[in-house]
């Protein structure tokens, strides 16, 4: 949990610890405890905001520094995020229906269609 917090994957250490309690793996093996140490070359797999993150540890973090320093602690091996479905955009509501459209909707609801 401490390394995940140093690498700025989570805003607080308690969030990182709760992520370690979930489906987290270190080199393909389930993590037994949140304070398990990581070494350079280890592969860490965890869930973050419904996305599966796979990272390789480059260096152990000694402090929670700026983002540029945190990005030097790991290599991101995560699969590319699924692209949203392309095609026609979803229909946008047109606002308030006109009198003719409202009568047609009422007729459809009442079964006079």
Interval 71-85: pLDDT, tens: 999 999 988 766 556
> Which residues does 15 contact at the CB level (< 8 Å), separation at least 6?
none
The stretch 84-94 carries a mean pLDDT of: 66
The predicted pLDDT at position 90 comes to: 64
pTM strictly above 0.85: no
Distance CA 70, CA 17 (A): 18
Q: Report the CATH number of the 2-76 domain.
A: 3.10.290.10
Residue carrying the six token digits 């390394």: 3
How many other CB atoms are there within 10 angstroms of residue 99's CB atom?
7
The residue extents of the domains of the chain are 2-76
Cβ count within 10 A of residue 72: 13
DSSP string over 38-93: --TT-EEEEEETTEEEEEEE-S--SS---HHHHHTTEEE-PPPPPPPPPSSPPPPP
């Amino acid at each position: 949990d401490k390394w995940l917090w140093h690498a700025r994957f989570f805003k607080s250490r308690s969030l990182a610890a709760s992520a370690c309690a979930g489906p987290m793996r270190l080199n393909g093996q389930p993590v037994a405890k949140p304070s398990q140490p990581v070494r350079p070359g280890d592969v860490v797999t965890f869930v973050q905001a419904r996305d599966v993150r796979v990272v390789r540890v480059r260096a152990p973090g000694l402090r929670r520094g700026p983002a540029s320093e945190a990005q030097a602690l790991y290599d991101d091996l995560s699969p590319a995020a699924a692209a949203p479905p392309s095609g026609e955009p979803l229909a946008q509501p047109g606002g308030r229906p006109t009198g003719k459209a409202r009568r047609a909707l009422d007729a459809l609801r009442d079964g006079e269609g």
